[in-house]
C-alpha cells in the first residue's frame, strides 16, 4: 500500500534500473521513470534521492546526446548535493559536467569541473575515476591552450593510471597526453603516446577508444604538417 517506505523503495528501484540502461528505447523509458522518482523525492523532501534522480536524468540525456538538458539537470543535482554538504553525492554531477563541457567545446568550464572532480575522486579513494578525470583535465586545459598545465595534468593522469590494473583507463590517459601534445604541435612526442594508447586499447578490446586514437592522431599529423 502507498506509504513513505514504499515511495523510497520505488525511488531506489528506479535508480538501479537507470544505472544499467542500454539502448535508446530503454534510456527513454528510464527517463520517464526517473521523472517519477524525482517527483517522489520532492514529495518526501528526500534531498539525497532528489540529487541522485536529477543526476541520472542528466546522465541519460548525456548518453542520448542532449547536452543542454544534461547540463541543466546536472547543475541542479550538484546544487542540491552542495547544499547538503555531501561531497560523495556531488562527485557524480561534477564529473559529468566536466565531460559535457569538454565535448561542447567549453574548455574553461570543463577544466574547472575536471579539477574539482580530480580532487574529489582522490579524497574519496576512487582511483580509476581520479586517473580518468585527471587525463580529462589535461584534455580540457590543452583545448584551452594552457599547454604547460595540460602536460603536467597529463603526466599525473598517466602516473595514476599506470598504478592500476585497468586497461581502458590506462589507454585513455595515454590518449589524452597524445591529444595535448598533438594540439601543441609536437608530433614526435605525441606519436609514442598514441601508440601506447592503441596497444592498451587493443588489449582491452576497446574499439571506441581505438577509433578516437585514430582520429586525434590524424589531427596531430595534420596540425604538424606531416
pLDDT of residue 22: 62
pLDDT of residue 18: 78
Q: CA distances (Å), 140 to each of 60, 77, 124, 182, in order?
A: 22, 22, 22, 13
Q: CA distances (Å), 51 to each of 37, 66, 93, 106, 138, in order?
A: 11, 19, 9, 24, 28
What is the Cα–Cα distance from 69 to 204, expressed in whole angstroms? Answer: 32
Instruction: Name the DSSP letter for residue 29.
Output: H
pLDDT of residue 89: 97
What is the Cα–Cα distance from 223 to 96, expressed in whole angstroms? Answer: 29
**Do 136 and 156 form a contact (C-beta atoms < 8 A)?**
no
Q: CA distances (Å), 198 to each of 36, 118, 164, 189, 215, in order?
A: 43, 24, 17, 15, 12
Q: Per-residue pLDDT for the chain (226 aa), expressed as one digit of tens each?
A: 788 888 888 888 888 877 776 666 788 888 999 999 999 999 999 999 999 999 999 999 999 999 999 999 999 999 999 999 999 999 999 999 999 999 999 999 999 999 999 999 999 999 999 999 999 999 999 999 999 999 999 999 999 999 999 999 999 999 999 999 999 999 999 999 999 999 999 999 999 999 999 999 999 999 888 7
From 69, 153, 70, select the one nearest 111 (Cα to Cα): 153
pLDDT of residue 129: 96
pLDDT of residue 21: 65
Q: Report the interhelical angle of 187-204 vs 207-224 (nearest 10°).
A: 170
**Do 36 and 15 form a contact (C-beta atoms < 8 A)?**
no
pLDDT of residue 25: 75
Instruction: Name the DSSP letter for residue 15.
Output: H
**Do 84 and 47 form a contact (C-beta atoms < 8 A)?**
yes
Residue 46 CB-half CA count within 13 A: 20
Could you tell me the pTM of the whole model? 0.88
| Cell 539537470 -> residue | 73
Amino acid at each position: 500500500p502507498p506509504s513513505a517506505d514504499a515511495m523510497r523503495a520505488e525511488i531506489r528501484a528506479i535508480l538501479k534500473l537507470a544505472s544499467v540502461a542500454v539502448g535508446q528505447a530503454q534510456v527513454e523509458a528510464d527517463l520517464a521513470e526517473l521523472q517519477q522518482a524525482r517527483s517522489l523525492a520532492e514529495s518526501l523532501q528526500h534531498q539525497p534521492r532528489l540529487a541522485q534522480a536529477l543526476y541520472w536524468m542528466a546522465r541519460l540525456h548525456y548518453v542520448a546526446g542532449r547536452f543542454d538538458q544534461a547540463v541543466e539537470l546536472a547543475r541542479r543535482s550538484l546544487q542540491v548535493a552542495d547544499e547538503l554538504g555531501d561531497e560523495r553525492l556531488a562527485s557524480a554531477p561534477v564529473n559529468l559536467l566536466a565531460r559535457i563541457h569538454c565535448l561542447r567545446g567549453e574548455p574553461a568550464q570543463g577544466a574547472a569541473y575536471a579539477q574539482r572532480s580530480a580532487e574529489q575522486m582522490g579524497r574519496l579513494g576512487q582511483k580509476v575515476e581520479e586517473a580518468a578525470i585527471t587525463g580529462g583535465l589535461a584534455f580540457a586545459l590543452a583545448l584551452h591552450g594552457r599547454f604547460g598545465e595540460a602536460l603536467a595534468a597529463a603526466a599525473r593522469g598517466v602516473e595514476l593510471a599506470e598504478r592500476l590494473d585497468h586497461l581502458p583507463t590506462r589507454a585513455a590517459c595515454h590518449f589524452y597526453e597524445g591529444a595535448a601534445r598533438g594540439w601543441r604541435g609536437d608530433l614526435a612526442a605525441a606519436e609514442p603516446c598514441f601508440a601506447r594508447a592503441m596497444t592498451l586499447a587493443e588489449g582491452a578490446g576497446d574499439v571506441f577508444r581505438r577509433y578516437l586514437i585514430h582520429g586525434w592522431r590524424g589531427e596531430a599529423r595534420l596540425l604538424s604538417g606531416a
